[in-house]
């Protein structure tokens, strides 16, 4: 059985996005996801791909 790695954020991603005054649409476009997927990421506060985790960190 292959296990998936989840990259968990210690900070609340939604609060960070709001602090930097970034819209959902802008962040979703920058990481290559839909707004709905970004909402799921913010709800779970985690992502499964390292590449997307790095993109979020760069923002």
Tell me the domains of the chain and their CATH numbers: 7-58 (1.10.260)
pLDDT at residue 59, as a whole number: 84
Give pLDDT tens digits for 43-53: 888 888 888 88
- 29: which residues sit within 8 A by CB, 6+ positions away? none
Share of residues in the chain with pLDDT > 90 (%): 37
CB 6 within 8 A of CB 48: yes
pTM for the structure as a whole = 0.79
Q: How many residues does the chain have?
A: 59
CB 44 within 8 A of CB 50: no
Q: Quick check: 4 pLDDT over 80? A: no
Q: Quick check: 1 pLDDT over 70? A: no
């Amino acid at each position: 059985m292959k296990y998936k790695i989840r990259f968990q954020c210690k900070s609340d991603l939604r609060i960070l996005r709001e602090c930097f005054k970034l819209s959902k649409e802008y962040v979703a476009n920058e990481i290559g996801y839909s707004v709905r997927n970004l909402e799921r990421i913010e709800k779970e506060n985690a992502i499964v791909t390292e590449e997307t985790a790095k993109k979020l960190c760069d923002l």
